[in-house]
Structure 1
Amino acid sequence: SSTTSGRRRKPILNAREKNMRRLESNERERMRMHSLNDAFQSLREVIPHVKKERRLSKIETLTLAKNYIMALTNVICDMRGEESPYEPLAAPSPSPSATPADDDDTADKSFYDFE
């Protein structure tokens, strides 16, 4: 049947049907979150970071990835003799834990900043 606005009414669900829909919805959300968390873990594995003993939070992972991409873009532009599109980030304060593993001074280390 239709209402005066032309829309169909939602079928009236019994308690069992409502429960099934809720369970299905919960399962879809659980799968979505697992997929998202797997993607974050994959990103954590490819971006360099200093403190490997502690898992990066989601915001730290995204911030590091953004800073790393910007730093690499600047390095590529410098190698091509082009102007760097991004301002260099402030250098992190020196501390033993903030020092990258290798001593290659040609790479921009500013992607370690969480700003």
Structure 2
Amino acid sequence: MTFNNRLTETNSMDGFPDIGRGKVTGSRADNGKFRAPTLRNIKYSAPYMHDGRFKTLDDVINHYKSGGKTHQMLTRCFTRWPLTNIILKALKAFIETFNGALFIKILTFRIRLK
């Protein structure tokens, strides 16, 4: 599954240094396409974002809460989230429900995590 907004807007901190799948295929139609990762066992998949810029889920949540870095391509969809600390804690707790303790006990996955 991919997400593609055709690079017309962004919430990136630095514009479009990574054009996504278009860099691999050479097709302009693939610009802005990125693999949409699963939320399952997200606790074990750091670093986060398409370029690995955030080390923790808190960093990701705070990035979206702040509205990102202001620049000419910033979309109105990515405005500052007016969320209380209680709501932010609840959001993180909800995201963490996608983690499974059994996941880290399975040898195949333990090797991949190292």
The alignment's TM-score, normalised by the length of structure 2, stands at 0.22
Q: Whose radius of gyration is greater, 1 or 2?
A: 1
TM-score (structure 1 length as normaliser): 0.22
Higher helix proportion, which one?
Answer: 1
